A and B are shown apart, each in its own frame.
Chain A
Amino acid sequence: MDKPLRLAVFALVAVLAAVAGMTLARWIQGTPAAAGADTRALVLQAPRALPDFLLTDHEQRPFGPARLRGRWTLLFFGFTRCPDVCPTTLNTLAGLAQALEDLPAALQPSITMVSVDPMRDTAEELSTYVPFFDPDFVGVTGEMGEVLTLTRGLGVAFAYQPAANEEGYTVEHTASVFLVDPRGRLAAIFSTPHRVDDLDREYRQIVRQRG
């Protein structure tokens, strides 16, 4: 496929994914159970299994459901050409990782950014970008179809918009942070705005209740 056609197909797929994602997000949010009165996080009463997917991390290793098992994982969806929301969130998550350093290693979360712009964000690009915020952070990319499998499974929406840059587009995307439990199931969603203090308190609360 030539580049404009490929972009058009991806754009169409992304729009469909966005609609599906938003529908799913509403469905998920229609059955919430708050962990407590002082929490802003959406904690799922019944953690939800994720679909099978196969992506690649920034060190070129396979990243599938097995990588989400055995420890808590915080997933953020973004892209490297995102000037405000993504660096802001990754900095906040770096602050959170430091705030949680007193927890036993098994309870400390793995923090992962999944690219919603896999055409531009290669594993190599992510290997420069993601560890900049915290050396332990993981960057994930892969085939668009596999990215869509994961985003649909979580209720993450993203869509391409025309923009005056080299490639001609930018990406609108869900800015929430998703908590996956050690059994690889979606356990909670932290919506914006994200503050280290809130995330720290809520994460500890959820891990204590569900750990």
Chain B
Amino acid sequence: MTHRDVSQHRAGILLLVLALFLAACSPETDDRPARIEDPWIRLAPPNAGMLAGYLVLENPGARPLELVAVSSPDFASVEVHRTEIVDGVARMIAEPALTVPPGGHAVFEPGGRHLMLHGPTRPFGEGERVALEFRFADGAQLAFEAPLRRGPDGGHHHDH
């Protein structure tokens, strides 16, 4: 082989290795699973029939992420709702399907989008954790736990 042939041969191997490397990696970058950041449920009075849950749902994948169902063994039902305030009047809008774009995220926060947890099956204390499961349109499921907290403005632990 001439010197040039060797160079071409080496370049060919390098390309092949690179191609194999990309082939091995790309399905993972496409299918990186959904993530939940900082989930919490607002601690409510013992007779509250409804609680609200907050979190950030991240979609690091390459395809849109469509949340189609939420469930918890500790509640009769869980729905995604959004609080809207129009002319000072607060109303709740159901969001039966929520789509998070590739690389995007959906914020669930007080006064905005939230999980509406209806019909608790047991009383909850501060710091207890609630099991939740998200189901997506592609059939994927994501189980996580959310602690019960008083919330950012919760008066009892406010420092001065």
Contacts and interface: CB of A to CB of B under 8 A. Distances in A.
A and B are partners in one complex rather than unrelated chains: yes
Interface of A: 18, 22, 25, 80-85, 87-88, 91-92, 94-95, 97-99, 125, 128-130, 132-134, 157-159, 161, 165, 170, 172-176, 191-193, 196
B90 interface: yes
B42 A91 contact: yes
B150 interface: yes
B156 A192 contact: no
Contact of B153 (A92, A125, A161, A192): A92
B155 A97 contact: yes
Given A84-B81, A85-B111, A128 B90 contact: no
A95 B155 CA distance: 4
A88 B45 contact: no
A81 B49 contact: yes
Given A80-B49, A192-B85, 4 more contacts: A88-B52, A91-B42, A193-B111, A196-B153
Contact of A128 (B47, B117, B118, B156): B47
Contacts of A193: 111
Q: Which interface class (under 10, 10 to 19, 20 to 34, 35 or more) fits B?
A: 20 to 34
Interface string B41-58: 010111111111000000
Contacts of A159: 89
A133 B155 CA distance: 7
Q: Which of A84, A98, A157, A196 has the most CB of B within 10 A?
A: A84
A88 B151 contact: yes
Contact of A94 (B50, B89, B154): B154
B122 interface: no
B153 A83 contact: no
Contacts of B88: 25, 157, 174-176, 191-192
Contacts of B48: 80-81, 83, 87, 129
Contacts of A157: 87-89
A83 B51 contact: yes
A131 to B, nearest CB: 8
B45 A132 contact: yes
Nearest to B53: A83
16 contacts: A22-B89, A25-B87, A80-B49, A83-B114, A84-B114, A85-B90, A85-B111, A91-B151, A94-B156, A128-B46, A129-B47, A157-B87, A172-B91, A174-B90, A192-B85, A192-B88
Contacts of A87: 42, 44, 48, 52, 151
Contacts of A191: 88
User: Lowest 9 CB-CB distances: which A-B pairs, in order?
Assistant: A94-B155, A132-B45, A95-B153, A83-B50, A175-B90, A172-B91, A88-B110, A83-B52, A129-B45
Contacts of B151: 87-88, 91
Contact of A165 (B51, B114, B118, B154): B118
A172 B89 contact: yes
B92 A170 contact: yes
B47 A80 contact: yes
Contacts of A129: 45, 47-48
B150 to A, nearest CB: 6
B3 interface: no
A173 B89 contact: yes
Interface string B13-25: 0000000000000
Interface in B80-121: 81, 83, 85, 87-92, 110-111, 114, 116-118
Nearest to B153: A95
